[in-house]
Amino acid sequence: MRPGGDLPPAALSKGVTMAGNDLGSLLGGLLGGGGQGGTSGGANILGSLLGALMKGEGGGHGGNPLGGLLDLLTQSGLAEQKNSWVGTGENQPVTGAQIQQALPDETLKQVSEEAGVTPDLAATQIAQVLPQVVDKLTPNGQIPAGSLEELIKAQQI
């Protein structure tokens, strides 16, 4: 049985927002707090995206939607960038336009609406924080097992 059971769609989307806010806070802490508006906003939007992926397209990968997101990037021709973030070398950049192409339109639209920004801005903010987040969550050059929340908390210790 999936989380949320037979809740109406409005309740499910509220749960996604809540999960996204929680993930966004954790990701903001992982990136060094909320002092910088772009980093903090990007972490919140990335948290919303991962929450949305956990519920729908992109798959949960056992409570870890990061794997589903990385799969989407690979399928969209961004394997080289993704591998640089997961690996132990220098992180290659990604653009907002590349993120927009990689993500399902409905997912990006949902995330941008939750954040109160345009899809273009949401994609740009995700592109700014995603390489750092993936790099910090994959310190040994591979995606560790466990839920995303557990991984983030372990990195903040």
Highest mean pLDDT among 60-64, 123-127, 135-139, 150-154: 123-127
Mean pLDDT of 70-75: 92
Percent of the chain surpassing pLDDT 90: 34
Give every CB contact of residue 72 below 8 A, 6+ residues apart in sequence: 58, 102, 103, 104
Determine the length of the chain: 157
The angle that helices 105-115 and 119-137 make with each other, rounded to 10 degrees, is 100
Mean pLDDT of 78-83: 95
Is 68 or 14 the better-scoring residue by pLDDT?
A: 68
pLDDT for position 66: 81
pTM of the predicted structure, to 2 decimals: 0.72
Q: How far apart are CA 89 and CA 64, in angstroms?
A: 23
- Cβ atoms of 94 and 77 closer than 8 Å: no
